Structure 1
């Protein structure tokens, strides 16, 4: 595994692979790697000729400065982990490499900008869109891999690629979960043992809602029951629990088994904000 710190270092390497007509697979991350990230890495290794992983904690996508400051930094462990997997390159740019100055450009993702994560984290998807566009321009991958856990982010990046004609194939990899069902996330490192148990309410409510909907219960009834479950649970605060179309993020008022749908949830467990989602009809 070769460490690369700048586009100037990467460009001749990329050119060599281009001459060899090799497909470059790209996994962008913010570090604090877990099995969910490694699923993306494994998929890249299976699919592409050359695998590049990036680690960059992007300041422009945090609308909460405290959240940015507390984001886990495990770079030495991440490097050791990726070396075991035999990826070809690890791209580790610093902030000056990514942003000589804060970008003045703003990206508006339309309806995606105003619902769920867009509504509760204003400016977040602008930051995501800009950093992903920069990374795509720097790495110029053939294929890029993203996790289903960040479902709305996947929809945003699909919009970015489609509207700006990036020559990149996107592959979405299913959410990786702990044995008890909790979606793997770097934020889980910040949960206390008690909060770790409390966090199971997210997946438990998603599974409950899916079963109830598929057995014929109305969405309004299911949503009301879930809201009460969160209200009764100690240490958790529900932010949203919505039935959506997973590509457009149109919010459904009723469940229709003929329509593609997923449920998305965001909640605070203590002071840690967690998100998750579950496909209902694929």
Structure 2
């Protein structure tokens, strides 16, 4: 496994790989990342992973400086998994002096996370565009937990005619149903137990759809009632939307996604489930 910190080095090493898969990460890897990497290896053979905590997607009051990092641990995981190349740039490599370009993907980036975190998805779209241009993979793999990010990246790739297939892997959870996230490291043991209500609330909405409920407002109320019943939680938003453009729905006629953002203590967590009428 080669670990390369510069764009020039990763481009040169990439020449020896045939149609690789690519898994971009911000490090502090967990089983969710590793499930994407295993799938990429199965489908593509050679896999490139990036580890880069991207400063442009963090707001001024967010946790860039304290975002969890453990490069040595991450590289051990990737070596064991059989990754071919690891790209580990620093911010100056990705954003040299004079860098001024930003990407705006339009309406899909505006609601939900986009409304709560202005500029976040411009930072995401810009860095993903740069990484895809640098690595030039056949397929790039992202996790469903960040469902709006997936929609933003699909829009980016379609609009810019980028020759890469975007693959979304299902959310990986612990035994209590909590979606795996690097930010779970911030949670105390008590907060981890409280956070399991996120998935239970989403599952309750899914059950209502399976029983015939189609009113999105009713489904959001089901989720909200369960969340407000748990002490120590603060709800940022609850959404029932079209999974492609994140447009809020009044009624579910086809596939939909229920998503939420909730603060557990000081830690902000995301989760979602697909809702499919029978």
Q: Give the shorter-chain TM-score range.
A: over 0.9
Question: TM-score w.r.t. structure 2 length?
Answer: 0.95
Aligned to 1:39: 35
> How many residues are treated as equivalent by the alignment?
276
Asked if 1 retains the 8 angstrom alpha-carbon contact of 2:220 and 2:240, the reply is no
State the superposition RMSD in angstroms: 1.5
* Structure 1 segment 147-162 matched on structure 2, within 5 A: 147-162=143-158
Mapped pair 1:260 → 2:263 = no
* Structure 1 segment 183-194 matched on structure 2, within 5 A: 183-194=179-190
- Unpaired runs of at least 5, structure 2: none
Mapped pair 1:96 → 2:92 = yes
SS in 2 for 1:179: coil
Q: Distance in 1 between the 2:60 and 2:170 partners?
A: 27
1:102 positional shift: 6.7
SS in 2 for 1:263: strand
* Structure 1 segment 227-266 matched on structure 2, within 5 A: 227-256=224-253, 259-266=254-261
Higher helix proportion? 1
Q: Distance in 1 between the 2:11 and 2:196 partners?
A: 44
Asked if 1 retains the 8 angstrom alpha-carbon contact of 2:237 and 2:262, the reply is yes
Aligned to 1:205: 201
Question: TM-score w.r.t. structure 1 length?
Answer: 0.94
Q: Distance in 1 between the 2:121 and 2:35 partners?
A: 24
Aligned to 1:13: 13
SS in 2 for 1:68: coil
Asked if 1 retains the 8 angstrom alpha-carbon contact of 2:201 and 2:222, the reply is no
Q: Distance in 2 between the 1:224 and 1:16 partners?
A: 53
1:47 positional shift: 1.0
Large movers: runs of 4+ above 4 Å: none
